[in-house]
Chains A and B, each alone.
Chain A
Amino acid sequence: MSVNKGLKKALIIGSGPIIIGQAAEFDYAGTQACKAIREEGIETILVNSNPATIMTDQGIADKVYMEPLTEEALEAILERERPDGILAGFGGQTGLNLAMALEESGALARLGVRLLGVNKDSIRRAEDREAFKELMLEIDEPVPESAIAINIEQCKEFVDKVGYPVIIRPAYTLGGTGGGIAEDEAELELLARRGMENSAIGQILLERSVAGWKEIEYEVIRDAKDNCIIVCGMENFDPVGVHTGDSIVVAPIQTLRDEEYQKLRDASLKIIRSLKIEGGCNIQFAMDPKSSDYVVIEVNPRVSRSSALASKAAGYPIAKIAAKIALGYSLDELKNYVTQRTSACFEPTLDYIVVKFPKWPFDKFNTASRRLGTQMKATGEVMSISRTFEDALLKAVTSLEVKQTGLRVEAFKSLDKDAIMRKIDACDDERIFALTEALRRGVTVEELHDHTLVDNWFLHKLENIVKMERKLESHKKEITPDMVREAEEMGFVDDEILELTGLSSTELHFIRRYNGIYPVYKMVDTCGGEFEAVTPYYYSCFDREDESRVSDKEKILVIGSGPIRIGQGIEFDYCCVQGVWAIKDFGYEAIIVNNNPETVSTDFDTSDKLYFEALHIDDVLNVIDKERPLGVVLQLGGQTSLNIAEGLSKRGIRILGTPFKSIDLAEDREKLRNLMGEMGIPTPAGFSVTDEKEAFEVVEKLGYPLVVRPSYVIGGRAMQVVYSDAELRKYLKEAVNLSLEHPVLIDQYVLGKEMDVDAVADGDDILIPGLMEHIERTGVHSGDSISVYPLHSISNEVADLLIEYTRRIIRRLGVVGLINVQYAWDDKKLYVIEVNPRASRTVPILSKVTGVPMVKLAVSAMLGKKLSESEYGVGLYRKMKLHAVKAPVFSGAKLTDVDVALGPEMKSTGEVLGIDRDYGKAVYKGFLASGVRIPESGGFFVGLRGPDRTPDTAEILREYVDEGFKLYVSPGTAPFMRESKVEADTMTFDEVLASVGERINGIINVPEVANLPGSNSFDIRRKAIERDLPVLTCMDTAKVFLEAIRHKKAGTKLEYRTLEEYLGGK
C-alpha cells in the first residue's frame, strides 16, 4: 500500500503543557511522528503551546504554531494551512479531544481535512464507557460489570446489585481525574459527585472492583491491512487498584504462563481489530490469579505514557511506526529501525527485564495524601534495565534520586512491626520499602501477599534482596569477592555495600579491582540477540560479554536530567537533546546517560550512543571508565547532573564548561553572598541561625518581611515569607526541625520586580538572547510566575544593569556555557537573588522566541569558541517584534489535597507560551493556552491577607467591578473594601463555599499561609479548582488577568502565526 500519495500536508496536534497524566511522553511521541512524516516529503505542521518541548523546535516540523490548543485556534490554523490530514493520536487526550471536537463541529469536513490513524467511531467506542462495553459484549470479551451514571440514584442502584467496593471513573478525563474506589455509601456519594463534575460530559462509570487482580498491559499496533502485533506486554507490581501510572511496572510480563499470555494477546488483537485502529493502542487487563479469568479494563486508542515506556523497553518506536501507518504504510512494508535489516512486522523479544518506577511529587506537596489509587499522582518516572529483577529494581530506586540508594529507609527503622504493617496497608508511595522492612522483621512472603495481593514472585525477589543485605551485614569485613560480585549483580551500589559491611571505600575498590567486578554493557536490540542490530542503546549488568564497542572518535558525555518532577521538567531534556545535536554537529561522538523513558533524549536515534542508567556517581563513572570521553557536560541536565559535579571533579574527570569550583561558588548561598559583596553587587542580606534566639536577633537587624528556608534542601522547598514574630515562631517550630545540624536561613525579603536573565557565557563575555520579567513580584517561585518577553515595565537603565551585572558575574566565576541569574528590583536597587550555573526553565523559551540557539552556542563555548565569533554576537540580542507570555500550568485537579496558592515553593508541573505581536493579546493567549477559564461576568470572591490590603489592590479590584463583576468578601477583608470604597458584598466562609460554582465563578485570594488544608480559604480554593474556576492568589496575577477578561469580553479575534513568521517580523 505504502504512503498515501494524496497526502502532501499533514498537521499534528501536540499535547500542550505538562500535567500529571500527560507529560514528556508526548514530546517523544510527537517528535517521532513529525520526523516520520517529514521524511516522507510531506509538509508537516505542528501546533503545540508547550515551549519546553523538542517537537516545537525548528527543524522537527516544517511549521510550528506555538498557539493555544483550543478549538478556535485549531480551526483558524486549519483554515490557514489547509492540510490534507490531521494526526490526532500523538497529542495525548488533549489532541484526541480537540480532533473529536473539530470533527463533531464539522470543521474537518468543511475544510476537507481527514483524520489520519484514528477515526471518530473508534475513538468514541474506546473512550465512551458505554459504547466500549457494548463493543466488548459484541466481540465476546469480558468486562467488569458496570453502569453509566449521571446521577447519584443510578449509582446506588448499581451498588445494590454488585455490592462494594466499586470503582468510579469519569468519562473523558486526564490521568483518571476524579476517580476512585468507594468502599461505602459516603465514599460513593463523594466520588460520584466529583467524577461527574470532572467528566467533560457529566458522565461517570461505575464498575465492579477487580482490585487485587494482576494488572497486565499490552501495547498493540494495527495497520490498515489488519496486520497486528504486540510490541510489549507489561505487568504491574501493584495489583489492580493502583493507577498504572503510579504502579511499579515490569516488562516483559513475568508471572503468566504462555497460555495466559496468549489468551490476553488474542484478546488484544481482537479488540484493536474491532476498534479498527490504524496505529498504536494500549489495552489494560485484570487477571484473576486464582482462576486465570480476565476482564478488559481500559483501552487507549492512541499512543500513551505506556507506549513510550514500551517503546523504550522493547526498542520498538511505536509512535514512529504508528505515524507511518497513519500515512498508509502496512507493518510488513516497514523495517525494524533497530536492526535495519529485519521487518517491523514482528514482536520484540527482550533478553532483559525492565522496571519502571514512578516519581511522585510528595516531597514538594507535603500535605498531599500519599495513598495511591485510581487517580494518578506521579509527575514522572524512571526506567531501568538489567538481567535480573533485583538489579533492575535497585537501579530504578537509585535513579529516583531519593535519599536512599537501596530499599532501606532510615525512618522505618524506628517503627514497630505493627506500624510497618499499617504503612503497607496504607498503600502509599513507600509501600515497596515498607514491604522490605517487614521482610527484615521476619514477616513472611505469604503474610505480605495477604495484605497487598502483590504477586509472590515479586515478593520473593524482595526477599532475595533482604537476604543479601543480611549476608553483607553478617559477614562484615569478612566478605568474599564472590559475595561482592553477587551483591553487585543484584544491584547493590557501592555505598550500600559499604554501609552494610563497614568496608572502607578503598577496601571495596581494591576488591572490585583485583577481581574485575565491573559491569558490562549489553545492547537493547528488539530481538534477543537473534539478529545483528545497529542501535547504540545500552544498559549495564554484571555478565560476561561487554557489547558496547568504544569508537576511536572523540567523545563527549551528556548527563541527562532523570525523571520529570516539579522544578525539573522537560525543559532540561530539551537542553540535553539540543546539546547532543550540537556535539554531533561539532564532529564529536555524543553519548548520553539518562533514565527517563518518556523523553526524546532517551530515543535510540537521538544520540550517537545511549546508556540507560541511573545518574548516580557510580553509574556515571562506570560509563566514563568505559568510554573515556573528552569531557562531560553537566550543565544541561538541571540540578540532577550538577549534583555529581563535585564527585567527578574530585576524580579528575574533565567537566566541560563552567568548572566545579565556580558551580560550588554559585550554589553555596553564603559563598555567593560574600562574592557578590566583594564585587559590589547587592544581594539580600541574610543569616544562618540555629536557634530561636539567633533568629530574633536577625529580625532586629533586618526587620520583616523575611524569607525563611531550611539550609539543607534546595529548590524552594519549605521556603516561606514571614511577616510577623508569630509567623516566624510557628515556622521555626513546625515547618523545620531547627537545630545545629539543620540551621535555618533567614534572608531579607526584597519586595519588587523579579527578572530572569539567561545567558550564554564564554568566560569573558555573554550573549543574552532576551530578558524576561515576572508579572508576580518577588515571593512567588519563578517557575510559578507568569513571565513575559521582552521586558514590559523595566527601564532601559535597569536592563543595562542586568546585563552589566551578569557579565561581571560570569567573568568573576569563570562561567562557560549557560547561566541563569535571578534578579529583584525594588525601585532602588537591583539585587542578585540566585545564580544558577546551568540551563534553566527559560532556555527553551528564549531560544524559541528569539531564534538564538542557546544550547548550541553554549556547547560551542564549552569547546573553546568565543561568542564574538558567532553570528549572534555578544551582549543583549536584538529585540524581536513579538511578545511572549509564559504561563504556568498546575495539576491542581489531580492532587486533591494540595493548595494552589502561589508562594516560594514551586507547584506548577508545566507551562505554556502565548505569543503575539500585541502584549495584551499575548497575555490573553497565555491564559487561553493554560486552560484557565476566563469569566466574562459573574462574581469573584476576594480574600486578602494584611500586607496586600493596599491602594494598588483596591485599584485592581475596582477594575473588576468596572468590568461588571460582583465582588464578595470575607468578614476579614470587608473593612478594607469599605475603606477603599470598592463595592463588595460580605459573606461568611460557609456562604462563600456554597456559592463557589454558583454565584462565584472566580477567586482572588491572597492567603496568609498557603498549603494549610483545613483552613477556610484552602477549602474555597480547592473547590474552585475542582470546578475549573480561575483561582488568582497574587494581586499581580489578578491584575494581568484583566487583560484576558477584556479581550474575552470584547470578542477579540486572535490571529495565529508560525514561530517563523513571528521571528521574521512579517
Chain B
Amino acid sequence: MGEEHTTTTNTRGLLYLEDGTVFHGRGFGARGTRVGELVFNTSMTGYQKILTDPSYKGQIINMTYPLIGNYGVNDDDYESLSRGIHAFGFVAKGISACPSNNKSRMTIHQWLTEQGVPGVCGVDTRMITKKIRDEGTVKCLISNEGVSEAEAREICEGATLRQDWMKETAVKEPLRRPGKGRRLAVMDFGIKAGILTSLSAKGCDLHLFPYGASAEEIMAVRPEGIFLSNGPGDPEEAVEGIETARRLIGRVPIFGICMGHQVLALALGGKTYKMKYGHRGGNHGVHDADTDRSAITSQNHGYAVDAGSAEANGLIITHRNLNDGTVEGMKHKTLPLFSVQFHPEASPGPNDSAYLFDRFLDMIARFGGAD
C-alpha cells in the first residue's frame, strides 16, 4: 500500500458490523456514511462492473482480492444503464493510485468520489470475508468521515435494510432497444447492461418494462419471448413481478436470470430462501444435467431457489452448484421456460455459459415463433 496516501482523501475509514466488530482503515472515495448489507466478492478482476451492477443495490462490497483498481476506471465497464454505482460502499485491502491500462480514465478513488460512494481500504478484508462466511451476511456501517465507534453503533442499529430494491432499479418507463431479430419483452428488475448486450448481439428487438408492468401491457407488444432480469433484494418482495410472471407463464417462452430465475420459481409456487452468505464471484463450477458438462460461472446472489419446492411444482432442476449443490438452473416439465441463477452474460466473469442465450432463442423457434 502506501501509494494511497498521496492521492486519496487519506481520512480514517471505519466499518462497523452489527455484531459490534469494528475495522479501522483508511477512507477513500466520497466522504460519507452508509449502512448496508456487507457481502464479499471473490472476483480478481471486474470491480468496475461489480460496482455498477444494479443487483448490488443496498450492499457494501468487500473484495477478497487485495489489489483493487489496478487498471483504473474506463468508459466501457458499466453494468448499470445509468452508468452509476449501485453499491452503497466499497471495501478493499489496497487500492491503486497509479492504474495502468490503455482504457483507464481515472483512479477508483476519483471515480467513487465523483459517484458519491464511500470506500474504506487498509482493512483485513480476508478477516471480514471469513467473518461473513462463518456468521452470514451482516448489516454494516461504512464511514470515512470521522464517525466515532459509538456513533457508528447508533446509526447502524437504527437503520433498517430494505429488501425491495428491485422496485427502484428497474427502468421507470418502457424502453426499447431495437433489433432485427426476435422481439423480446424484458421484465426489468435492474438489468445488467451485459445481458442487454448479449441479447442485442443476437439481434433481439428488446422492449424493457418497468417494475410492476402488467401482463397485458407486456403482451401488448406481442413478444416472441419474455426475459426476466436480474435485480437486487429479496425476490419475495417482488410481489407484483411474481404476479405478472404467473400470468405470462406458458403463453410465450420465458428465460430468467438470477432474480428472474427466482421470480419464476415463486410464480410457479416454489420457494426461495436467503443463503448464509450467497455466491458472489466468477469461479464457481455449475453442472448442467442436460449436457452432463460443467462450466465456470459468474455469480451474484444472496437468495436461492429451494429445490424440493420447485420440483413439487413441475420444475426440473437442470443446474447445480458443484460446491454446495444449490439450485443454479431449472426448466419446466411441460411449459416453455427455463432459468439460471448464475450469469451467462458474465460481465464480469467467464463467458462459458453464453450458449444459454442461444438456447432461449432455440426455444422460441421451437415454440412456434418460426419466421
Residues of A within 8 A of B (CB): 225-227, 229-230, 252-259, 261-262, 265-266, 269, 289-292, 330-332, 341-343, 345-353, 387-390, 445, 455-457, 460, 464, 467-468, 486, 489-490, 522, 527-532, 543-545, 547
Asked if residues A265 and B350 are in contact (CB atoms below 8 Å), the reply is yes
Q: A255-B100, A351-B64, A387-B66 are in contact. Are A343 and B283 (CB under 8 A)?
A: no
Q: Tell me if A545 and B127 are in contact (CB < 8 A).
A: yes
Selected interface stretch from B90-98, B139-147, B261-269, B336-344: B90-98
Whether B322 pairs with A545 at a CB distance below 8 angstroms is no
Are A353 and B67 in touch, CB under 8 angstroms?
A: yes
Complex Cα distance, B111 from A923, in Å, reads 70
Q: Which of A226, A229, A388, A544 is B94 in contact with, Cβ under 8 Å?
A: A388
Task: Report B290-340 residues with CB < 8 Å from chain A CB.
Answer: 292-296, 322-324
With contacts A349-B43, A349-B281, A387-B93 known, is A332 near B351, CB below 8 A?
no
Pick the contact of B322 from A265, A346, A464 — CB < 8 Å?
A346
Q: With A255-B71, A256-B45, A528-B42 in contact, do A388 and B296 touch (Cβ < 8 Å)?
A: no
Any chain A CB within 8 A of the CB of B76?
yes
Q: Which chain B residues lie closer than 8 Å to A261 at the CB level?
A: 45
* Contact of B133 (CB < 8 Å), options: A292, A489, A530, A544: A530
B163 within 8 A of partner (CB): no
Interface of chain A: mostly helix, strand, loop or mixed: loop
Contact, CB under 8 Å: B130 / A529: yes
Q: Within 8 Å of chain A (Cβ to Cβ): is B285?
A: yes
Q: Judging by beta carbons under 8 Å apart, are B293 and A227 in contact? A: yes
- How many whole Å from A280's CB to the nearest CB in chain B? 16
Given known pairs A347-B283, A347-B296, the reply for A464 and B42 (CB within 8 Å) is: no
Asked if B243 lies at the interface with its beta carbon under 8 angstroms from chain A, I say no
Cα–Cα distance between A1060 and B258 once the two chains are bound (Å): 60
Partner of A332, one of B287, B346, B348: B287
The contact string, 1 if C-beta is below 8 Å from chain A, for chain B 329-371, is 0000000000000000010111110000000000000000000
| The residue from A330, A341, A350, A464 contacting B44, defined by CB atoms under 8 A apart | A350
15 extra A-B contacts, CB within 8 A, seeds A256-B45, A345-B296, A528-B42: A258-B77, A258-B349, A262-B351, A265-B351, A290-B102, A332-B287, A341-B323, A345-B285, A345-B322, A351-B125, A457-B70, A457-B99, A530-B42, A544-B124, A545-B124
Q: Contacts of A490 on B, CB cut-off 8 Å? A: 1-2
A331-B133 Cα distance, complex, nearest whole Å:
25
Taking a contact as CB atoms closer than 8 A, the residue among A332, A467, A530 that contacts B2 in the complex is A467
Specify the chain A residue showing the minimal Cβ separation from B292.
A225
B residues near A387, Cβ cutoff 8 Å: 66, 93-94
6 cross-chain pairs, A with B, having the tightest CB-CB distances, nearest first = A528-B64, A343-B322, A345-B285, A544-B124, A258-B46, A457-B100
Instruction: Tell me which residues across on chain A come within 8 A of B130, comparing CB atoms.
Output: 529, 545, 547
What is the CB-to-nearest-CB distance from B303 to chain A, in angstroms, rounded to a whole number? 17
- In Å, the complex CA distance between A32 and B7 comes to 47
Contact B103 A257 (CB under 8 A): yes
In the complex, how many angstroms separate the beta carbon of B134 from the nearest chain A beta carbon? 8
Q: Is B133 in contact with A532, judged by CB distance below 8 angstroms?
A: yes
Contacts of B129 in A (CB 8 A): 351, 528-530
Judge whether A343 and B285 touch: CB under 8 Å: yes
| Any A CB within 8 A of the CB of B101 | yes
Contact A229 B287 (CB under 8 A): no
A227, B71: Cβ atoms closer than 8 Å: no
Smallest CB separation, B43 vs chain A (Å): 7
Is B3 interfacial (CB 8 A cutoff)?
Answer: yes
Q: Are A269 and B352 in contact, CB atoms less than 8 angstroms apart?
A: yes
CB contacts between A and B, total, < 8 Å: 173
A346 to chain B, nearest CB (A): 5
Q: A625–B208 Cα gap in the complex (Å)?
A: 62
Complex CA gap A445/B100 in Å reads: 12
B2 touches A468 (CB 8 A): yes
**CB of B284 within 8 Å of the partner chain:** yes
Most chain-A Cβ atoms within 10 A of its Cβ — which of B67, B70, B133?
A: B67
Query: Judging by beta carbons under 8 Å apart, are A258 and B348 in contact?
Result: yes
Contact pick for A346, options B77, B100, B101, B284, CB 8 Å: B284
Q: A262-B349, A545-B124 are in contact. Are A257 and B65 (CB under 8 A)?
A: no
With a cutoff of 8 Å between Cβ atoms, the chain A residues found around residue B200 in the complex are none
Measured in the bound complex, the distance between the Cα atoms of B32 and A715 in whole Å is 62
Most chain A CB neighbours (cut-off 10 Å) among B64, B94, B282, B323: B323
Is A332 in contact with B285, judged by CB distance below 8 angstroms?
Answer: yes
Contacts of A456 in B (CB 8 A): 98, 100
In the assembled complex, the Cα of A467 lies from the Cα of B5 at a distance in Å of: 12
For residue B57, CB closer than 8 A to chain A, the reply is no
**Residue of B at shortest CB range from A229?**
B296
Q: Is the CB of A346 within 8 A of B296?
A: yes
Residues on the A chain within 8 Å of B322, using CB: 332, 342-343, 345-346
Nearest neighbor of B287 in chain A, beta-carbon distance: A332
Closest Cβ–Cβ distance, residue B194 to chain A (whole Å): 11
Can you give 25 contacting A-B residue pairs, CB < 8 Å? A254-B67, A254-B70, A258-B43, A258-B77, A262-B346, A262-B351, A265-B351, A269-B352, A289-B102, A331-B294, A343-B285, A346-B283, A346-B323, A347-B296, A351-B64, A388-B1, A456-B98, A460-B100, A528-B40, A528-B281, A529-B40, A529-B129, A530-B129, A531-B323, A532-B133
Chain A contacts for B43, CB-based, 8 A: 258, 349
- Is B202 located at the chain interface by the 8 A CB criterion? no
CB distance from B352 to the nearest CB of A (A): 7
Asked whether A257 lies within 8 Å of B101 as measured between CB atoms, the reply is yes
Cα A467 to Cα B296 with chains together (Å): 41
Residues of A within 8 A of B93 (CB): 387, 543
A225 engages B293 (CB within 8 Å) = yes
**Choice from B40, B71, B123, B283 contacting A256 with Cβ under 8 Å:** B71
Most buried by A among B3, B65, B126, B127: B126
Chain A residue contacts of B283, Cβ below 8 A: 346-349, 527
- Tell me whether A351 and B66 are in contact (CB under 8 A): yes
Query: A257–B74 contact, CB under 8 A?
Result: yes
Residues of B within 8 A of A389 (CB): 67
Rounded to whole angstroms, the CA-CA distance of A345 and B288 in the bound complex is 13
B49 at the interface (CB under 8 A from A): yes
Q: Is the CB of A353 within 8 A of B323?
A: no
CB neighbours of B70 from chain A (8 A):
254-255, 457
CA distance A528 to B65 in the complex (A): 7
Contacts of B46 in A (CB 8 A): 258
B66 to chain A, nearest CB (A): 5
Q: Given A349-B44, A352-B66, A457-B98, does the pair A227, B77 have CB atoms closer than 8 Å?
A: no
A229 interface neighbour in B23, B100, B125, B285, Cβ under 8 Å: B285
**A852 shortest CB reach to chain B, Å:** 46
Contact B125 A342 (CB under 8 A): no
Bitwise interface map of B from 102 to 129 toward A, beta carbon under 8 Å scored 1, else 0: 1100000000000000000001111101
Find out whether the CB atom of B133 lies under 8 angstroms from the CB atom of A531.
Answer: yes
Closest residue of A by beta carbon distance from B67: A353
Provide the bound-state CA to CA distance between A630 and B136, in Å.
39
**A291 and B102 form a contact (CB under 8 A):** yes
Q: Contacts of B127 on A, CB cut-off 8 Å?
A: 543-545
Evaluate contact between B71 and A257: CB separation under 8 angstroms. Answer: yes
Residues of A within 8 A of B350 (CB): 262, 265, 347
Q: Are B2 and A390 in contact (CB under 8 A)?
A: yes
A545 and B127 alpha carbons, distance in the complex (Å)? 6
In this complex, which of A262, A290, A341 has the most chain B Cβ atoms within 10 angstroms of its Cβ?
A262
Contacts of B66 in A (CB 8 A): 351-353, 387-388
Chain B min CB distance to A256 (Å): 7
- Across-interface contacts of A255 in B (CB, < 8 A): 70-71, 100-101
A254–B124 alpha-carbon span in the complex (Å): 20
The answer to whether A388 and B67 touch across the interface, beta carbons within 8 angstroms, is yes
Query: Is there contact, CB below 8 Å, between B2 and A259?
Result: no
- Is A259 touching B77 in the complex (CB atoms < 8 A)? yes
Chain A residues closer than 8 Å to B124, beta-carbon distance: 543-545
A residues near B352, Cβ cutoff 8 Å:
269
CA distance A348 to B296 in the complex (A): 11
Answer whether A257 and B45 are a contact pair too, CB < 8 Å, given A262-B351, A331-B294: yes
